[in-house]
Amino acid sequence: MSFLILGNAPNMHEARRAFLGKSGLLLSGAAVALLAGQEALAAKGGKSGASDVRILNTALGAELEAIAAYQVGADSGLLQKPVLDLAVTFQGHHKEHADILAKTIAKLGGKAVTAKDKYSFPTEKLKSQADVLRFAATLEKGAVSAYLGAVPVFTNRDLAKAAASILGDEAMHWAVLRNALGEAPVPVAFMS
């Protein structure tokens, strides 16, 4: 995914809309919010707090773990075609999240974490498609909770908005996976 930092354009929002309209480039709400946060920081001549970079790096680490987990599921041979396609789609979402998070961390002067060489996944317990779906649903629910905890502690409110956008995507993943398992897609009225 490519993105644009417009610097100190007289009207950054109009310039960004014009660029996106002419290029046909479509950015997610999270990507736009992250870019808006970077633009706001540049306009103020300030930097995001080190705590924001730490939060972004924690989120990036979780996204990288999710990418690896979906790869385990895809490589397991346990997923039937439509479910495999869904897993690959969700993995693609996590790749997009990771990409924009890493770029934002770098723009904020931080050093982005990288994927671990090896993750400890319960592969010995993955014996059926339902096991893989349950494993993925558990990770997605954890991601929802993690983003829910991160949103209010960002110093930069634009970064908080972006995290909330990603949270929404993770919640949709969790609901779809629960539905695929034959469970209520939205089991509670409030997340914690």
Q: What is the pLDDT along the chain (192 residues), one digit of tens a residue?
A: 222 222 333 333 333 333 223 322 233 444 444 544 554 544 443 455 889 999 999 999 999 999 999 999 999 999 999 999 999 999 999 999 999 999 999 999 999 999 999 999 999 999 999 999 999 999 999 999 999 999 999 999 999 999 999 999 999 999 999 999 999 999 888 887
The pTM for the full model equals 0.76
Is the C-alpha dihedral spanning 154, 51, 97, 3 positive or negative? positive
Say which DSSP state 124 is in: G
d(CA 27, CA 20): 8
d(CA 181, CA 113): 33
d(CA 14, CA 6): 10
